[in-house]
Structure 1
Amino acid sequence: MKSRRMFWGIVDKIEALIDSGEFAPGSRLPAERELAEKFNVSRPTIREAIIALEVREKVEVKTGSGVYVLEGAVKNNKEAVVNAFELTQARALVEGEVAALAAVSITDEELARLHDTLVMMKERGETEEADRLFHSIIAGATRNGAMILLVNKLWSLRESTAAIIDDYASVCSKDSHLTLQEHTAIYNALKAKDPSKARVAMHNHFNRLINTLFDATEASALEEVRRKNNEKRGLYSISNLVKHKVV
């Protein structure tokens, strides 16, 4: 988690330099070694940051030439910043209808692939990979290009926004058994070709996730309050005053 946060910090710094014009669209970024020295991090950390910037469509890696800032990479100041709660609500609305639509057109082969993701999650513990594959298969089963594009875009936000990655990581790894139960309910509704049940099952899945996010946020806020109170307690305690009493 520490290394992940480190490279996301570098991503933020490079994006800020792109937005400021120091790394202008069309220009080549400094060499990996120079960036590592500039930000006082290792070269592998720089490589991870470059990969993330590629996902965000900020840069393009040209083999044998270097890393170039893409045209249009400069951030639009009016662009909304999406948080984990907004993303989860949007996913619930979109993927609820995706599930309902998929229920009337999903094939036996797609159902078999969905079942395989349940096995991946239950027997092999591959929760993250199985989760994305599960939702991707359902989107594909709609036969609707716009729906597929929407689901892919929402997943891209989930995987390329540092704050969302951290928020999801704080809850998803703890509740994999609940994710499996919810995926199973969605699978059963799709297998029954029941659009209403599929929609409800998908909504239940995201409703639990968003409530868990709220619980995690509340716990983090309480921990911060405790930390600040402990600092004040040490500062204002009588024992601290006596210890530093001037004679």
Structure 2
Amino acid sequence: MTTGEKLYQRVAGAIETAILEGRYLPGARLPGERDLAEEFGVSRPTIREAMIALEIRGFVTARHGSGLYVSATAGAAADGPELDVGAFELIEARLLFEGEAAALAATAVDAEMLTRLEEALVAMAADNSGHAERLQADRHFHMLIAEATGNSLVATIIETLWKVREQSPLCVHMFDKARREGVTPRVDEHRLIVDALRAHDPQAARQAMHGHLQRVTEDLLAATELALIEQARSEIEARRDHIARRVAL
């Protein structure tokens, strides 16, 4: 792995090379996630990021509910976009930094900041809020916790992580898939974080933040898997309709 290369990029690059060299021919089915995770010695979320990256770049497509297949036009995709950081890698970093930020904030948070956090919860839960407004309220909530630490470097790091979420093409693509599957910020999980901060309990605040971000990971895993399943289901339904029309002739 070259300096600065991410795990999912290494996996995606190896599979790209295999496709371009003809080891996986157009129409060939790729091994399943578990097999690839074992082969490359990485986690399933890393494999999922690599597969989505390959899908975006046009190297693979989902088909018939049986997995991912090499695209017929894979050779023309070699100059596709650079995708940068994936959502699972981002959440791993957020777990590290935002968990500790929550613990630190619990020792320093004051009544004014708790009021501002409550206001962010209200905005997140508002019935008339669209996706963009809820996402902004979610971002604001987490940045308030970073601010509550009283450490400007902590706040800068967490702001940088949120910018990655908004600017990395692979991150954006993965979170958009989750949104289309109905995933939205969970107000109850954010409420647990506020409760721990109000109690000035660093351990509870850390655990509440970790629980929240782990749930985000689970939602992303489910949403990206569901997107593949839904695509396959649509193809199956279209084929079923086609057969029914032919039978009716």
Give the root-mean-square deviation of aligned CA atoms: 2.9
Report deviation, 1:228. Answer: 6.0
Identity percentage of aligned residues: 38
Cα distance in 2 for partners of 1:226, 1:136 equals 40
Corresponding residue for residue 156 of structure 2: 149
Quick one: which amino acid aligns to residue 149 of structure 1? T
Matched, 1:184 2:180: no
Quick one: which amino acid aligns to residue 83 of structure 1? G
Report which structure shows greater RCO (CA 8 Å, sep ≥6).
2
Quick one: which amino acid aligns to residue 84 of structure 1? A
Report deviation, 1:100. Answer: 0.4
* 1:66-215 map, 5 Å: 81-123=84-126, 125=129, 126-172=133-179, 174-176=182-184, 179-215=186-222
State the SS of the aligned residue for 1:202.
helix
Alignment coverage as a number of residue pairs: 163
- Residues 232, 121 of structure 1: alpha-carbon distance in 2 compared, 3 angstrom cutoff: closer
State the SS of the aligned residue for 1:81.
coil
Cα distance in 1 for partners of 2:118, 2:239 equals 54
Runs of 4+ that moved beyond 3 A: 223-235
- Residues 213, 207 of structure 1: alpha-carbon distance in 2 compared, 3 angstrom cutoff: same
Cα distance in 1 for partners of 2:103, 2:148 equals 10
Q: Could you list the runs of 5+ residues in structure 1 that have no partner in the other structure? A: 1-78
TM-score (normalised: structure 2): 0.57
TM-score (normalised: structure 1): 0.57
8 Å CA contact 2:177–2:227 kept in 1: the answer is no
137-146 or 192-201, larger mean C-alpha shift: 137-146
The Cα offsets for residues 168-221 of structure 1, whole Å up to 9 and x where unpaired, read as 233357344x61101111001001000001011101111111101001111122
Report deviation, 1:83. Answer: 0.5
Cα distance in 2 for partners of 1:172, 1:105 equals 34
State the SS of the aligned residue for 1:103.
helix
Q: Could you list the runs of 5+ residues in structure 2 that have no partner in the other structure? A: 1-81
The Cα offsets for residues 115-149 of structure 1, whole Å up to 9 and x where unpaired, read as 11112122353412211111011001112222112
Cα distance in 2 for partners of 1:226, 1:129 equals 33
Structure index of larger Rg: 1
State the SS of the aligned residue for 1:104.
helix
